[in-house]
Amino acid sequence: MTETIINLETVNPIDFFGVNNNKLDLLKKKFPLLKILSRGTQLKLSGAPEQIAEAKEKINLIVSYIERNGPLSENYFDQILGGDDAETIDHFQERNPNEVLVFGPNGKSVRARTANQKKLVQEAEKNDILFAIGPAGTGKTYTAVALAVRALKNKQVKKIILTRPAVEAGESLGFLPGDLKEKIDPYLRPLYDALDDMIPADKLGYYMTTRTIEIAPLAYMRGRTLDNAFIILDEAQNATDLQLKMFLTRIGANAKAIITGDMTQVDLPRNQTSGLQTAVRILQNIPGISHIELDEEDVVRHRLVKAIIKAYHKEHEHQEERREHREYLRKER
């Protein structure tokens, strides 16, 4: 007789065990020769090695399904336990695992939807540091968060760290109501929104409490070493050279980082320049660091967002032409 312990930390225990342990009872009926005990987020199996191996295979299939799709019905639970044929197992296994990044609480699949978003995923898988540059609405932050959540669920990393520069865009932090956290949270809200789409509320609360997922302003990264983590620096166009260098040198062992930004929306004071463009330029030939550009064709928001971005881009080009023409006339004089 052998024993094994299976950790169920990645799922809500009630989703696995069921109300009044009704799903656990189904598991015990399926494997009557095993002694099965539940202890918090752990499941202890005792019995013959071949029985334990079969039970582990079924349990892992159930856990994987719950991680992707959220709670499963008692009927589905019973189907997974009873279905030994390849067709049943295939039905509950993840299809196209490289296409779907993560499943949200309501079963919604999050995937790369455009050519450049798919390229972002591919480059992130091949490199430890990736710069994703593009206008608003191109899904760069959302895709990056999905990759981070997938890495956490697959136990490739132990934590997710999401950060942004807390730079004022027309309003002063000092005039906003509330304490420091309440002043800063609005800057970080897009990151919370993305996580809400991908992780059930109770599990997200647990991850935040245990600091498995951490959301903080860029200034809070100083002096730290970020090991075994998936790190996302969002709105990096609002980081100075020194801040970006500070961030990039925080990255520790077994860590990945995605830096996103939009060079058309720099909110830094006029006497400061964005460090994002500099970083992309001087780091472009280092193995393990990649750079991808997204454009208006990758916009996945309202159909008018694409038209708005094109209009502003056209206006910017006209302004550059007028500036160059004025410079030419000045030199001619």
Architecture of domain 2-91: 2-Layer Sandwich (3.30)
Superfamily of domain 98-299: P-loop containing nucleotide triphosphate hydrolases (3.40.50.300)
* Least confident residue range of 19-33, 85-99, 154-168, 315-329: 85-99
How far apart CA 294 and CA 279 sit, in angstroms, is 17
Alpha carbon distances (Å) from 58 to 17, 23, 28, 77? 14, 13, 12, 10
The DSSP result for 290-332, as a single string, is: EEEE--GGG--S-HHHHHHHHHHHHHHHHHHHHHHHHHHHHHH
pLDDT band at 92 (very low <50, low <70, confident <90, very high): low
Classify 278 as helix, strand or coil. Answer: helix
Structure tokens at 319: 């302004």
Query: Does the pTM exceed 0.85?
Result: no
2-91 and 98-299 in the same fold: no
* pLDDT tens digits, one per residue of 221-245: 888 889 999 999 999 999 999 999 9
Predicted pLDDT of residue 169 = 43
Banded pLDDT at 170 (limits 50, 70, 90):
very low
Mean pLDDT of the chain: 82
Cα–Cα distance, 148 to 144 (Å, whole number): 6
Q: What is the dihedral of CA 184, 190, 192, 194, to 10 degrees?
A: -170
- Parse the chain into domains and list their residue ranges: 2-91, 98-299, 301-332
The Cα 213–Cα 211 span in angstroms is 5
Q: Specify whether the CB–CB gap between 274 and 165 falls below 8 A.
A: no
Mean of the pLDDT values across residues 170-174?
A: 46
Q: Are the C-beta atoms of residues 260 and 132 closer than 8 Å to each other? A: yes
* Contact predicate 292/131, CB 8 Å: yes
| Cα 37 → chain centroid | 34
In whole angstroms, give the CA distance from residue 213 to residue 113: 25
What's the rounded Cα separation, in Å, for the pair 139 and 36? 45
Lowest mean pLDDT across 59-63, 101-105, 121-125, 230-234:
101-105
Band (258; pLDDT cuts 50, 70, 90):
very high
C-alpha closest to that of 1 among 58, 51, 59, 42:
51
Which residue in 118, 84, 89, 116 sits closest to 101, CA to CA? 118
